[in-house]
């Protein structure tokens, strides 16, 4: 068995004074609240734990502040009647408040689930009633309104807490309570019994369930994978052996708590390692704020990494000849250097010398612009990431690793430094074992798997057999022991002649075009080609149209323009070169709208719900595999407030 | 805020007494009298050319009426110019956005706080003592406005680079910067799409709820007017033709005639 001590946070011998302050039991910090207590005793007010930009200023919270807020919230939770094993749902953009509430709930022996802040009321109702949540923590008015709408259908609900007062001044409801009120209650409790909180923390157990991670539900209703403190912390420990973050590091956190990555790589990892987490002011200011922070370690979703590259491309395309020439030359050299570094080798001397110059002139200013000038490790979380993205960042000097996991097993594989093969997702973490079943399914046996699906033992038994977790992903292992994930087992598309291909692979390639925002690639059993439904990127296609003298007034104009269609044809032809014969795309439609989570086409974490899309646009799909040139198409649109409207459009079917 | 409004609904913040205004031989306003109560949102409506903007100009001091009086807190301010009235707490937005287009959003808002800057040029230069304290205080107020109007992402953007909807929002922010007791909004939603209008309506209601600011708003979108205003005042050809709650005004035959031209 792997030892359960996380006493390393106390291991710094130079801090003798801090060490003597700690009593013996503290060295066994095996739950998240215990880690918080440990850092509080170690650093107190001497080190910043969280930093949030608000009202234009970065506001600091030291470990002592962090501890004190969590202490007040946790005791207030007790006063409000929380019981052990009760669930607390947190709905909001990621702010320090989210961390405080999560730790407060965990200290009470509760369990925490994150819900995407833009979820619809009915989605929230599902999560709250399925998890039997008793407390809901909301960011502000938007979420509170949704909860109040569904409160009667959530029988377990005891209190609705919120922290942003904006717009809430005249709300009066017995369920509602603000964070400030909770802090007040907490202060009274702490006065009465100053040792209570520490006792509560000591009562938390490593094996207790701590975190619920809901699957994104691409096929059916989301399932909740339950993780214990121990599982999460052990995973972070293993991860740290690859990433090796430092206590003095800075990271940026803004992805929703409902994502595994956020729970693991920011919240749990920061408590494990003691680095500082920074929270941007608003979603729109994330990039600016990343630049202000200059993170040492950052994790982003594939689409965000891709967005960075698209921005660079667009800027370079609009730059003057000289700048463009410098950049392109530097990038060529950068690729040579990056490709060698990814495998832990050195490029030849000449290249290295040229790169010294190009790094100074091009890449260092570029990294500074992006906010990556101090970044030692970037992580992209996803099963299938376009290998060009990873190569690109290595070329410009940002070491990017890919991690692959699911809510059931948050990290299955990760690249280790010096062994980064683009296209693969890296190796299994130490202590876990990987194999491929006869059908090609990826299986993993590891000590940090989820405990169970909440309230669904049948499903649990279905995916865990003899200790192996069946991921449902199709893949293979290459000669270096690195995993190559191809697609979901059930997403593989069949074409005429019983051939199969992975649509995801094509989609990722297509999405790397600056003009394609999203797409779905489909096959048909009676046809020997694939087809695509495409969402064009309005901004970049618009810019392209302006540069090429194409006039347009609306999105519809742009989408129907012959020039735009031939531009996309060219983009698809380029992608086709990389695809195997059975996956070649021969027809495509430019859709009149973008795929949207509000309409169920994407999950809240923006994964494509392929089956849903195929059903929703079944007549389009039929036309794509038929002989029509054009199709009249009527769709109903649902707005965020629930109203519906009908939209008629003429879509042309384009051949390549 | 709520209780504040309850106690003071009956107290008059500003009132106009028999205001008449004419340009040459054209009578723009004829004997208009009205009360603006504390903490209320009063909508001023009427067909084109009814004299709505002229009325706002009379209150803010841009126009001097031919006859009649303007009172603020029972004080006759008819003789005061626009700058003095602004110092007394009257602030307005403009139909055609009046901002420094070469300055950033932040600088525009800070400039609007000049009433709260009492230090001299030397103190400002060395940025010490009073100048520093006031500057920090001013920035705090501005940051509250930025937070309320969700301007964080464009704080440092130059105004001329902003799309129209944002400029309108910044113009509202500018008017709020002087912490007015009476805010006059001249078509704050003109030319906006429905989503932008919805945002603007939310901001206006937030301002009213949070700071209890009394507001007079000119707006042509009747849906918005009926939704957000406490009371409506209707002008036609410079005369008051109706006044009352949205429900009363909606059913007033006089108003219907003015709008539909029966």
How confident is the model at residue A556, as a pLDDT?
82
Interchain pair A282, B206: CB under 8 A: no
B39 Cβ neighbours under 8 A, 6+ residues apart: B4, B5, B8, B9, B208, B212, B213, B214
A22 pLDDT exceeds 50?
Answer: no
Interchain pair B147, A166: CB under 8 A: yes
How confident is the model at residue B5, as a pLDDT?
44
Interchain pair B209, A169: CB under 8 A: yes
Same fold for the pair A33-204+246-295 and A492-655: no
Interchain pair B210, A169: CB under 8 A: yes
Which of A16-30, A186-200, A525-539 has the highest average model confidence (pLDDT)? A186-200
Interchain pair A55, B148: CB under 8 A: no
A174 pLDDT exceeds 60?
Answer: yes
Interchain pair B202, A167: CB under 8 A: yes
- In angstroms, rounded to a whole number, what is the distance separating the alpha carbons of residues B233 and A376? 64
Tokens standing for residue A156: 């377990």
How confident is the model at residue A443, as a pLDDT?
94
Q: How close is the nearest chain B Cα to the Cα of A282, in Å?
A: 7
Average pLDDT over chain B, rounded to an integer = 89
The residues of A whose Cβ lies within 8 A of any Cβ of B are 55-56, 166-167, 169-170, 281-282, 284-285, 288
- In angstroms, rounded to a whole number, what is the distance separating the alpha carbons of residues A382 and A388? 14
Lowest average pLDDT, out of A19-33, A39-53, A417-431, A595-609, goes to A19-33
Q: What are phi and psi of A284, to 5 degrees?
A: -70, -20
| Cβ-based contacts of B153 with chain A (< 8 Å) | 282, 284-285, 288
| Cβ-based contacts of A141 with chain B (< 8 Å) | none
Interchain pair B143, A166: CB under 8 A: no
| Cβ-based contacts of B210 with chain A (< 8 Å) | 169
- In angstroms, rounded to a whole number, what is the distance separating the alpha carbons of residues B133 and A156? 50
Contact (CB, 8 A) for A224 and A212: yes
For residue A286, name the pLDDT band (cuts at 50, 70, 90): very high
pLDDT tens-digit readout, B105-139:
999 999 999 888 888 888 888 888 888 999 999 99
| Cβ-based contacts of B2 with chain A (< 8 Å) | 169-170
Interchain pair B146, A169: CB under 8 A: no
Query: Which helix (H) or strand (E) covers residue A649, if one does?
Result: strand A644-655
pLDDT tens-digit readout, A333-391:
999 999 999 999 988 899 999 999 999 999 999 999 999 999 999 999 887 788 889 99
For residue A497, name the pLDDT band (cuts at 50, 70, 90): confident
Tokens standing for residue B123: 């103190």
Interchain pair A167, B140: CB under 8 A: no
Q: Which of B39, B136, B152, B205 to mutate to test the interface with A (most CBs of A within 10 A)?
A: B152
Dihedral through CA A622, CA A628, CA A632, CA A634, nearest 10?
10
Interchain pair A56, B210: CB under 8 A: no
| For residues A524-532, average pLDDT | 89
| For residues A38-53, average pLDDT | 95
For residue A20, name the pLDDT band (cuts at 50, 70, 90): very low
Q: Counting Cβ atoms within 10 Å, is residue A479 exposed (0-12), middle (13-18) or buried (19+)?
A: exposed
Interchain pair A170, B2: CB under 8 A: yes
How confident is the model at residue A638, as a pLDDT?
67
How confident is the model at residue A479, as a pLDDT?
86
Interchain pair B1, A56: CB under 8 A: no
Q: Where are the domains of chain A?
A: 33-204+246-295, 299-429+470-487, 492-655
A489 pLDDT exceeds 90?
Answer: no
| Cβ-based contacts of B202 with chain A (< 8 Å) | 167
Q: How far is CA A371 from CA A389, B11, B77, B157, in A?
A: 17, 55, 55, 19
Lowest average pLDDT, out of A49-53, A200-204, A463-467, A494-498, goes to A494-498
Dihedral through CA A211, CA A217, CA A218, CA A220, nearest 10?
150
How confident is the model at residue A16, as a pLDDT?
40
- In angstroms, rounded to a whole number, what is the distance separating the alpha carbons of residues A52 and A50? 7
| Cβ-based contacts of B139 with chain A (< 8 Å) | 56
CATH of domain B1-89+182-197+214-262: 3.40.50.300
Interchain pair A169, B1: CB under 8 A: yes
Identity of the residue in B1, B148, B152 whose CB atom sits nearest the CB atom of A166: B148
B227 pLDDT exceeds 50?
Answer: yes
- In angstroms, rounded to a whole number, what is the distance separating the alpha carbons of residues B160 and B37? 36
How confident is the model at residue A24, as a pLDDT?
35
Q: How close is the nearest chain B Cα to the Cα of A516, in Å?
A: 25
| Cβ-based contacts of A56 with chain B (< 8 Å) | 139, 143, 146, 152, 155
Tokens standing for residue A75: 């005791």
| For residues B30-59, average pLDDT | 92
How confident is the model at residue B4, as a pLDDT?
43
How confident is the model at residue B44, as a pLDDT?
94
Q: Where are the domains of chain B?
A: 1-89+182-197+214-262, 98-178
Q: How close is the nearest chain B Cα to the Cα of A74, in Å?
A: 29
Measured between CA atoms, the residue of chain B closest to residue A284 is B153
| Residue A209: strand pairing partners | A228
Interchain pair A285, B152: CB under 8 A: yes
Q: What 3-state class would DSSP assign to A192? A: helix
Interchain pair B153, A285: CB under 8 A: yes
| Residue A469: strand pairing partners | A444, A464
Cβ–Cβ contacts within 10 Å for residue B122, how many? Answer: 9
For residue B217, name the pLDDT band (cuts at 50, 70, 90): very high
| Cβ-based contacts of A288 with chain B (< 8 Å) | 153
How confident is the model at residue A508, as a pLDDT?
85
Which 8-state DSSP code applies to residue A360? Answer: I
How many Cα atoms sit within 13 Å of A454 on the Cβ side?
A: 29
Interchain pair A282, B144: CB under 8 A: no
Which 8-state DSSP code applies to residue A157? Answer: -
- In angstroms, rounded to a whole number, what is the distance separating the alpha carbons of residues B228 and B223? 9
CATH of A33-204+246-295, one of 3.30.360.10, 1.10.645.10, 3.40.50.12780, 3.40.50.300: 3.40.50.12780
| Cβ-based contacts of B209 with chain A (< 8 Å) | 167, 169-170
How confident is the model at residue A131, as a pLDDT?
94
Q: How far is CA A365 from CA A287, A299, A306, A361, A393, in A?
A: 16, 21, 19, 7, 14
| For residues B73-86, average pLDDT | 91
Tokens standing for residue B135: 């500057």
Q: How close is the nearest chain B Cα to the Cα of A163, in Å?
A: 15
Interchain pair B144, A285: CB under 8 A: no
How confident is the model at residue B10, as a pLDDT?
59
A468 pLDDT exceeds 90?
Answer: yes
| For residues A403-414, average pLDDT | 91
Interchain pair B152, A284: CB under 8 A: yes
A403 pLDDT exceeds 50?
Answer: yes
Q: How far is CA A15 from CA A12, A30, A249, A269, A311, in A?
A: 6, 21, 19, 22, 45
Query: Which helix (H) or strand (E) covers residue A181, if one does?
Result: helix A179-192
Contact (CB, 8 A) for B32 and B235: yes
How confident is the model at residue B234, as a pLDDT?
93
Q: Is 3.30.300.30 the CATH classification of the domain at A492-655? A: yes
Measured between CA atoms, the residue of chain A closest to residue B207 is A167
B75-76/B67-72 β-pairing: antiparallel
Interchain pair B209, A282: CB under 8 A: no
- In angstroms, rounded to a whole number, what is the distance separating the alpha carbons of residues B219 and B187? 5
Measured between CA atoms, the residue of chain A closest to residue B155 is A56
A642 pLDDT exceeds 80?
Answer: no
Measured between CA atoms, the residue of chain B closest to residue A640 is B195
Q: Edge-to-edge strands of the sheet including A224-228?
A: A176-178, A159-162, A133-138, A87-91, A111-115, A209-214, A224-228, A452-453
- In angstroms, rounded to a whole number, what is the distance separating the alpha carbons of residues A19 and A146? 48
A630 pLDDT exceeds 60?
Answer: yes
Alpha helices (H) in A244-284, listed in sequence order: 260-261, 269-273
| Cβ-based contacts of A640 with chain B (< 8 Å) | none
Identity of the residue in B140, B152, B202 whose CB atom sits nearest the CB atom of A281: B152
Average pLDDT over chain A, rounded to an integer = 88
| Cβ-based contacts of A167 with chain B (< 8 Å) | 202, 206, 209
Nearest to A506 by CA among A487, A484, A481, A483: A487
Q: Counting Cβ atoms within 10 Å, is residue A433 exposed (0-12), middle (13-18) or buried (19+)?
A: exposed
Contact (CB, 8 A) for B63 and B54: yes
Share of chain A above pLDDT 90, in %: 58
A39 pLDDT exceeds 80?
Answer: yes
How confident is the model at residue A431, as a pLDDT?
86
Interchain pair A170, B148: CB under 8 A: no
Nearest to B181 by CA among B141, B211, B145, B139: B211
Q: Which of A52, A56, A172, A279 to mutate to test the interface with B (most CBs of B within 10 A)?
A: A56
Nearest to A36 by CA among A112, A94, A97, A102: A102
A224 pLDDT exceeds 90?
Answer: yes
| Residue A534: strand pairing partners | A519, A590
Scored b (16 or more CB within 10 A) or e, B36-49 reads bbbbbbbbbbbeee
Contact (CB, 8 A) for A409 and A469: yes
- In angstroms, rounded to a whole number, what is the distance separating the alpha carbons of residues B243 and A402? 67
């Amino acid at each position: 068995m792997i030892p359960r001590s996380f006493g390393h946070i106390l291991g710094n011998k130079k801090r003798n004074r801090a060490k003597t302050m700690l009593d013996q039991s503290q060295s066994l910090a095996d739950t998240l609240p215990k880690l918080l207590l440990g850092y509080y005793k170690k650093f107190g007010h001497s080190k910043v734990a969280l930093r949030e930009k608000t009202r234009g200023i970065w506001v600091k919270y030291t470990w002592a502040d962090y501890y004190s807020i969590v202490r007040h919230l946790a005791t207030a939770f007790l006063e409000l009647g929380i019981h052990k094993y009760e669930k607390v749902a947190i709905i909001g953009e990621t702010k320090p408040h989210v961390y405080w509430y999560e730790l407060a709930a965990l200290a009470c022996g509760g369990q925490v689930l994150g819900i995407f802040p833009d979820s619809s009321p009915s989605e929230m109702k599902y999560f709250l009633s399925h998890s039997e949540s008793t407390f809901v923590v909301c960011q502000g008015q938007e979420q509170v309104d949704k909860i109040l709408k569904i409160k009667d259908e959530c029988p377990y609900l005891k209190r609705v807490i919120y922290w942003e007062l904006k717009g809430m001044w005249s709300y009066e409801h017995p369920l509602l309570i603000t964070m400030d009120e909770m802090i007040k209650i907490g202060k009274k409790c702490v006065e009465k019994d100053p040792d209570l909180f520490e006792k509560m923390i000591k009562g938390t157990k490593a094996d207790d369930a701590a975190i619920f991670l809901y699957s994104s539900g691409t096929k059916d209703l989301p399932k909740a994978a339950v993780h214990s403190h121990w599982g999460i912390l052990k995973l972070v420990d293993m991860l740290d052996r690859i990433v090796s973050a430092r206590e003095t590091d800075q990271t940026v956190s803004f992805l929703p708590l409902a994502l595994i990555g956020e729970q693991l790589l920011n919240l749990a990892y920061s408590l494990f390692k003691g680095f500082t987490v920074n929270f941007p002011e608003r979603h729109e200011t994330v990039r600016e704020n990343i630049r202000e922070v200059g993170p040492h370690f950052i994790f982003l979703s594939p689409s965000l990494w891709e967005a960075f590259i698209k921005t660079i491309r667009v800027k370079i395309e609009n730059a003057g000849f000289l700048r463009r020439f410098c950049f392109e030359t530097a990038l060529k050299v950068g690729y040579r250097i990056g490709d060698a570094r990814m495998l832990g080798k050195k490029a030849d001397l000449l290249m290295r010398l040229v790169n010294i110059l190009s790094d100074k002139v091009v890449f260092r200013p570029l990294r500074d612009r992006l906010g990556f000038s101090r970044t030692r490790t970037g992580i992209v979380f996803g099963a299938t990431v376009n290998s060009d993205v990873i190569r690109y960042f290595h070329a410009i000097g940002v070491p990017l690793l890919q991690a692959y996991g699911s809510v059931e097993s948050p990290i299955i594989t990760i690249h280790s430094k010096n062994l980064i093969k683009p296209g693969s997702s890296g190796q299994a973490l130490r202590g876990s074992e990987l194999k491929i079943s006869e059908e090609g399914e990826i299986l993993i046996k590891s000590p940090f798997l989820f405990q169970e699906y909440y309230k669904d033992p049948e499903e649990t038994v279905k995916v865990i057999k003899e200790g192996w977790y069946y991921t449902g992903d199709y893949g293979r292992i290459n000669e270096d022991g690195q995993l190559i994930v191809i697609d979901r087992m059930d997403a593989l598309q069949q074409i005429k002649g019983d051939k199969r291909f992975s649509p995801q692979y094509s989609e990722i390639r297509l999405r790397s075009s600056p003009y394609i925002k999203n797409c779905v690639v489909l096959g048909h059993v009676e046809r020997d080609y694939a087809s695509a439904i495409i969402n064009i990127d309005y901004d970049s296609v618009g810019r392209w149209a302006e540069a090429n003298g194409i006039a347009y007034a609306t999105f519809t104009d742009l989408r129907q323009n012959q020039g735009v269609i031939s531009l996309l044809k060219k983009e698809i032809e380029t992608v086709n070169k990389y695809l195997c014969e059975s996956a070649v795309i021969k027809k495509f439609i430019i859709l009149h709208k973008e795929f949207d989570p509000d309409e169920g086409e994407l999950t809240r974490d923006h994964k494509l719900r392929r089956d849903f899309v195929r059903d929703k646009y079944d007549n389009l799909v039929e036309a794509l595999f038929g002989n029509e040139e054009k199709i009249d198409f009527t769709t109903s649109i649902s707005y965020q407030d629930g109203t519906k409207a009908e939209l008629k459009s003429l879509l042309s079917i384009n051949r390549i | 805020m709520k209780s504040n409004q309850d106690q003071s609904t009956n107290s008059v913040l500003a009132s106009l007494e028999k205001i008449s205004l004419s340009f040459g031989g054209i009578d723009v306003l004829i004997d208009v009298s009205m009360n603006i109560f504390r903490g209320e949102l009063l909508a001023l409506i009427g067909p084109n050319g009814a004299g709505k903007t002229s009325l706002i100009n009379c209150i803010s001091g841009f126009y001097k009426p031919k006859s009649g009086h303007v009172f603020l807190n029972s004080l006759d301010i008819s003789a005061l110019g626009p700058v003095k009235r602004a110092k007394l707490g009257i602030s307005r937005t403009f139909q055609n956005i009046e901002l420094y287009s070469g300055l950033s959003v932040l600088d525009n808002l800070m400039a609007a706080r000049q009433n709260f800057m009492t230090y001299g040029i030397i103190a400002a230069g060395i940025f010490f003592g009073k100048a520093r304290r006031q500057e920090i205080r001013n920035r705090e107020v501005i940051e509250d406005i930025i937070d309320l109007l969700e301007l964080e992402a464009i704080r440092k953007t130059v105004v001329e680079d902003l799309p129209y909807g944002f400029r309108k929002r910044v113009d509202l922010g500018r008017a709020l910067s002087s912490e007015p007791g009476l805010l006059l909004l001249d078509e704050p939603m003109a030319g906006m799409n429905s989503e932008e209008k919805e945002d603007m309506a939310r901001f206006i209601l937030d301002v009213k709820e949070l700071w209890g600011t009394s507001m007079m708003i000119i707006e042509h979108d009747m849906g918005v007017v009926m939704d957000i205003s406490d009371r409506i005042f209707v002008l036609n050809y410079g005369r008051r033709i109706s006044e009352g709650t949205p429900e009363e005004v909606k059913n007033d035959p006089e108003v219907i005639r003015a709008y539909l031209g029966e």
